[in-house]
Amino acid sequence: MSELLTGHAKAHTNIALIKYWGKADSNLILPTNDSISLTLDEFYTETSVKFRSDLKQNILTINQKQQPTDKLKRVNRIIKHFSDMWDGPKFAEITSDNHVPNSAGLASSASAMAALAGATMKATQTQLSLKELSSVARLGSGSATRSIFGNFVHWHRGHDHDSSYAEPLESPADFKINMLTVVINDQPKRISSTNGMSNTAQTSPFFKEWTNTANQAIDEMKQAIRFGNFSKIGEMAENNAMQMHATTLSSNPPFTYFEPDTLKVLQIIQQLRHDGIECYATIDAGPNVKIICQNNNLKQIKNSLLDEFNENQLIVAHMGPGIKIY
């Protein structure tokens, strides 16, 4: 019987090319704009969920460390979403391993919440399509919506729980892009994405314009992905990231996720482009820069970075697969 109450899943993290930044509904985590991401092979979370009738609350262990129960709000939501639908036990023991290279300084909530949703679906023997599962992952963290699928993914903002979901995007079979992460600071960020986007939405006079511009960029980015137009994907992703970060600087009080080394990497990228080596930057709610590039330029980009950074600050990731549930 106990095996019936158990589920496992592995989900990969993703980096947005058109960012999600702002909530229309903070309870359901409905975003103000659609977003598009790339799932990465290198970073993932493996999670097991085991429902136990003797538990009075959920227990979460991440990388062998038990987490304080007051940190489980979003985890509890996902467990409850599924356990409300059955007569079985209501609480589970959750064991999660984050395979994010030490000091990568990358967010794991996308892969973590996607894996949790998949493992809980399996444990409760709920039958959902992957599209429906992406909506449930969203209840844990917005970016998790996109981690259900591999490669390029579009998250439709929607207007209620069911209409806010992700779907995979087609790209040419031989089209490959890489993300080279430059790790500038591996400490937890001072302003979480959740708080950062909320401060921005409330106080930046540019927020509305950000939302409109991001929504308008979706069709063009989808087109660029469909045709494997690397230059277009890179240019649009870099523009979109800078537009997002402009909203933090224009917030009140103003803030930025950039650090001096963030700008240093942006300058290296501009110089590389000037020298004819195509690469583009994207940056999330932290100082680390992800460089979008293709295989043929990877070595030269790394060499330029090695003048200023150490080898262990550079991590290369490729396009990654969708969720595995078992």
Contact window for ligand DP6 (CB under 6 A) among 92-100, 120-128, 138-146, 316-324: 138-146
Tell me the residue number closest to ligand DP6, measured at CB.
142
DSSP 324: E
Helix, strand, coil % (nearest 5) of the chain?
A: 40, 25, 35
Out of 13, 47, 108, 109, the residue judged to bind ligand DP6 by CB under 6 A: 109
Contact window for ligand DP6 (CB under 6 A) among 45-53, 136-144, 170-178, 215-223: 136-144
Q: Distance (Å, rounded) from C-alpha 174 to C-alpha 184?
A: 32
Tokens of 315: 């991590």
Of 111, 138, 36, give the one whose Cα is nearest residue 128: 138
Q: Distance (Å, rounded) from C-alpha 10 to C-alpha 92?
A: 18
Task: Find out whether 32 and 23 touch, Cβ atoms under 8 Å.
Answer: yes
| Total H helices, total E strands in the chain | 8, 14
Contact window for ligand DP6 (CB under 6 A) among 137-145, 180-188, 302-310, 313-321: 137-145
Out of 5, 9, 29, 106, the residue judged to bind ligand DP6 by CB under 6 A: 29
Decide the pairing of beta strands 30-31 and 35-51: unpaired
Q: Is 98 in the site for ligand DP6 (CB under 6 A)?
A: no
Q: Is 35 in the site for ligand DP6 (CB under 6 A)?
A: yes
Q: Is 20 in the site for ligand DP6 (CB under 6 A)?
A: yes
Give the x/- contact pattern for ligand DP6 in 258-297, rule: CB under 6 A.
--------------------------xx------------
Q: Is 194 in the site for ligand DP6 (CB under 6 A)?
A: yes
Q: Distance (Å, rounded) from C-alpha 233 to C-alpha 237?
A: 6
Q: Is 33 in the site for ligand DP6 (CB under 6 A)?
A: no
Contact positions vs ligand DP6 (CB under 6 A): 16, 19-21, 29, 35, 107, 109, 141-143, 193-194, 284-285
